[in-house]
Amino acid sequence: MIEYCNSRSMLMVLMFFCGLTFLEIVLEESVSQDALTPAERKEAILAKIENQYQCWIEEDIDFLDDCQLCSAVERLRDAPLVCSYNGYRQRVQCEYSGEVYKTCEVYDLEEERIFWMFETVVAFVGVLAGLNTALQRHRMSLHSKRTQALTPSV
């Protein structure tokens, strides 16, 4: 497809995308000037969590749920507070304090699932690219044969 574009149209498209990138950078900078950086936000949340009583450190606990991904609403509202730290929570029953949420790490199975999903997408894109290349070569060979048939041999 790129072989059908002349240099002027390609230059115009390149300038358009450069302008769009510049505009996105300027808008993002203006929006995030007052906001905390992700590292600063994580430190502030960790300080809030540490200020709360963490019964799972000092008391015996029973795990009521597995480690779960917090919903978008929970992360947005910071309720429970542990959702804003890494996006995962686990409900536990402390022996004396009762039921609370604590932050938890992502299980290896979740990371493995995400990895294989990525690998599947990459393989699918690779197969599509290979099929596209084979189709293009086939079209080029047909075009070459037609051209040779039409031109007299010298």
Query: How do residues 34-67 score in pLDDT, each as one tens digit?
Result: 566 667 776 776 676 665 667 878 888 899 988 8
Residue that is last in its domain, among 70, 85, 106: 106
Are 75 and 65 members of one domain?
A: yes
CB atoms within 10 A of CB 55: 19
Whether 97 and 128 map to the same domain: the answer is: no
Instruction: Say yes or no: 42 and 102 in one domain.
Output: yes
90 in the same domain as 125: no
Alpha-carbon gap, residue 141 to 148, rounded angstroms: 10
Q: Same domain, yes or no, for 9 and 40? A: no
Quick one: 58 and 93 in the same domain?
A: yes
Query: Alpha-carbon distance 130 to 150, whole Å?
Result: 30
- Assess whether 125 and 140 both reside in one domain: yes
- Total-model pTM: 0.43
Same domain for 114 and 89? no
Shared domain for 58 and 86, answered yes or no, is: yes
Joined together, the tokens standing for residue 32 give 């995030």
**60 and 29 part of one domain:** no
| Structural contact between residues 61 and 92, judged by C-beta atoms closer than 8 angstroms | yes
What pLDDT is recorded for position 128? Answer: 96
pLDDT tens column, 13-23: 889 999 988 88
C-alpha distances in angstroms, 4 versus 7, 9, 117, 131? Answer: 10, 10, 36, 21
pLDDT at 58: 83
Q: What local confidence, expressed as pLDDT, does residue 29 receive?
A: 74
- 96 and 42 together in one domain: yes
User: Which residues of the chain are under the pLDDT cut of 50?
Assistant: none
Residue 69 domain boundaries:
36-106
Q: CA 83 to CA 86: how far, in whole Å?
A: 6
Instruction: Identify whether residues 51 and 95 lie together within a single domain.
Output: yes
Number of domains in the chain: 3
